[in-house]
Structure 1
Amino acid sequence: MAREQFNDLLWFLAVAEERSFTRAAARLGISQSTLSHTIKRLETRMGVLLLNRTTRNVATTEAGERLHQSLAPRVAEIEAEMASIMEYRDKPAGRIRLTLSDHALHTLVWPKLRDVLTDYPDIKVEFSIDSAFRNIVDSGFDAGIRLGESVENDMIAVKIGPDWRMAAVASPSYLAARGTPLHPKDLIAHNCINIRQVAAGGLYAWEFEKDGNELRVRVDGQLTFNGSYEMVDAALLGYGIANVPEDIAAAHVASGDLVEVLAGWSQPFPGYFLYYPSRRQNLPAFRVVVEALRHRT
């Protein structure tokens, strides 16, 4: 059905409900002559008389009443559904898919979101744990969470956490048996617990910096993981030296179960950012998540 034909039906419905061309025209914001011409056109197209007109009132014919009874509930249903859909502009609701690392989820994202989401039961969040940098548009994600240095320039990026540093740690028993490295290059002679970076297609080269001197050291060892928490567990068991985010090793260092080495070579760097295409920022549910995660100093 052409759009103008659908409008004809809506205008007929207004006349049938108001039982007056004058009131219906005022309700629709059109002239009475335009409305009268439209109803005549509808009757001609359908081949039946829909309205009985007198100088005092307007009443539906039998055919007109049948059309009215058929149209009214359907239009009301459409209007109700439209009103429900329009609530998405103001009411935070819907599903949000995020890609992020296990470290970002456990130390930052979940602690910030878990209390907020209880206030918004209609917001559904899906967390996809992945260390690779994803093209979130092609992969069907609403946003990604990665370190600031990894975010592409064409994305909106919101800082969601403080700067942090890596810490090279090992158990006291391992260091007693193998010695303590004093320079990053000493790691080449050690059993190091590696992590594989899917995005880079290989093993992570450990990064160090001191007094403006930057070094990248490719280490080797018996174990390779794709998650930092497993690396900490292996280091606690004496399998070697692990280079992990400082915060997940801090408690073990404080208790003496792990010892940090090369501390002077581990400098802070920009922390996690939420990145997303600009078209996502107008959705109420997405705005709730962004504001909950935003880093505030």
Structure 2
Amino acid sequence: MTRAELPGLQTFLTIAELGSLRAAARALGVNPPTISHQLKVFEERLGTPLLTRNTRSVTMTDAGRALFISTRHLVGAIEVALDTARDAAENKSGQLRITLPYRAWQLIIAPKLAAFETAYPDVELEFAINEALVDIVSEGFHAGIRLGDHLQNDMIARRLSRPQDGAYIASPDYLARYGHPSNPGDLLSHSCIRHRQITSGRIAEWRFKTPGSEISVAVSGRLIFNDLRTVVEAARQGFGIGWSLRAGVEEELARGYLIEILPEFCVQRPAFYLYFPKSLARLGILRSFIEHFAVVRET
């Protein structure tokens, strides 16, 4: 049996269960001539009559009875599966697994998590903190959060933040000892704490905006980390100048543990996005998550 024959099978099973074309037509929301035509087409596709009809009732042939016995439980299972899928679109309970970098957790999720848990007490959230690009389908995640230039292909994406400002940072002690850079070129004479991106394996470029263009400065230094939190900590301890998303170091800047340098030259980074496969677009708990955490309306 092919997929094209499934509607005909449903028509046949409904007639057989209810015992008349008229009752089946009411159950399926069509008129009796349509039911009769659907049954005729189905029988012609199979090459055998399934029902004998008179003005008041129908009776199954031997072929019809055999088909009814062997398939009615399958259709019931399909109906249950379809009902389950429909329920998932409205369901506000269950588990949601999300992979995200630490800064997305710190800046987007943590501030609003308590309110989400209050609003959705039956949702279990699992967060996997990971800077690398992750195949969310093969790894069993429902969704991922990354900056807009690090999204997995062929996914639906929803914006969760505004574009992110970057910040070049150093400790007061370091700047007191080695001086305060006044332009990007001055960084060539400083010890810079670099970041090796897990997504690409390459050391991140230090880019700066200048009138009419952007430039890249080939900075150097003896420390390289693959985690931005460690870059920030090393900068705070006076090992050199580092880079971070500005929102992730606002507390250190406010308390004077770090000083921002060259802010007028700093390049803005993309926004954070939640991305997920198209097959989960109607998942109720995922839609609720997006509605709660998204702060920027798509245009």
Kindly provide the amino acid, as one letter, of the partner of residue 258 in structure 1: L
- Per-residue CA deviation, residues 6-63 of structure 1 (Å, 9 max, x unaligned), is x9xx9999999989999789768979x9xxxxxxxxxxxxxxxxxxxxxxxxxxxxxx
Alignment of 1:1-297 (within 5 A): 83-117=83-117, 118-119=119-120, 121-122=122-123, 124-132=125-133, 134-136=134-136, 141-151=141-151, 155-267=155-267, 269-274=268-273, 276=275, 279-280=278-279, 282-285=281-284, 286-296=286-296
Partners of 1:100 and 1:129 within 8 A in 2: yes
- Per-residue CA deviation, residues 173-203 of structure 1 (Å, 9 max, x unaligned), is 1111112222212212211111111233211
Query: By how many angstroms is 1:107 displaced?
Result: 0.9
Query: By how many angstroms is 1:154 displaced?
Result: 5.1
- Per-residue CA deviation, residues 123-144 of structure 1 (Å, 9 max, x unaligned), is 5444341244x45456554433
**Using the alignment, how far apart are the partners of 1:291 and 1:188 within structure 2?**
45
Structure 1 pair 283/186, CA: closer, same or farther in 2 (3 Å)? same
Query: By how many angstroms is 1:253 displaced?
Result: 1.8
Partners of 2:167 and 2:263 within 8 A in 1: yes
- Per-residue CA deviation, residues 99-125 of structure 1 (Å, 9 max, x unaligned), is 322111211134344422451524544
- Give the SS at the match of 1:239: coil
Kindly provide the amino acid, as one letter, of the partner of residue 102 in structure 2: D
- Give the SS at the match of 1:202: coil
Partners of 1:93 and 1:284 within 8 A in 2: no
Structure 1 pair 122/85, CA: closer, same or farther in 2 (3 Å)? farther
**Using the alignment, how far apart are the partners of 1:137 and 1:116 within structure 2?**
24
State the superposition RMSD in angstroms.
5.0
Partners of 1:92 and 1:123 within 8 A in 2: no
Partners of 1:194 and 1:224 within 8 A in 2: yes
Structure 1 pair 227/291, CA: closer, same or farther in 2 (3 Å)? same
Partners of 2:171 and 2:235 within 8 A in 1: yes
**Using the alignment, how far apart are the partners of 2:84 and 2:111 within structure 1?**
32
Kindly provide the amino acid, as one letter, of the partner of residue 89 in structure 2: R
- Give the SS at the match of 2:233: helix
Aligned length: 291
Structure 1 pair 86/219, CA: closer, same or farther in 2 (3 Å)? same
Identity of aligned residues (%): 32
Q: Is the deviation greater in 281-290 or in 101-110? A: 281-290
Query: Which residue number corresponds to residue 64 of structure 1?
Result: none
Structure 1 pair 173/84, CA: closer, same or farther in 2 (3 Å)? same
Higher CA-based Rg = 1
Partners of 2:161 and 2:273 within 8 A in 1: no
Partners of 1:196 and 1:224 within 8 A in 2: yes
**Using the alignment, how far apart are the partners of 2:207 and 2:137 within structure 1?**
30
Q: Is the deviation greater in 143-152 or in 17-26? A: 17-26
Kindly provide the amino acid, as one letter, of the partner of residue 127 in structure 1: A
- Give the SS at the match of 2:196: strand
Structure 1 pair 139/184, CA: closer, same or farther in 2 (3 Å)? farther
Partners of 1:102 and 1:227 within 8 A in 2: no
Kindly provide the amino acid, as one letter, of the partner of residue 174 in structure 1: Y
**Using the alignment, how far apart are the partners of 1:21 and 1:166 within structure 2?**
70
- Per-residue CA deviation, residues 68-101 of structure 1 (Å, 9 max, x unaligned), is xxxx999989866764453113214454443322
Query: Which residue number corresponds to residue 62 of structure 2?
Result: none
Kindly provide the amino acid, as one letter, of the partner of residue 209 in structure 1: K
- Give the SS at the match of 1:192: coil
Kindly provide the amino acid, as one letter, of the partner of residue 168 in structure 1: Y
Kindly provide the amino acid, as one letter, of the partner of residue 282 in structure 1: A
Identify unmatched segments of 5+ residues in structure 1.
34-71
**Using the alignment, how far apart are the partners of 1:184 and 1:170 within structure 2?**
14
Identify unmatched segments of 5+ residues in structure 2.
37-71
Query: By how many angstroms is 1:156 displaced?
Result: 3.5
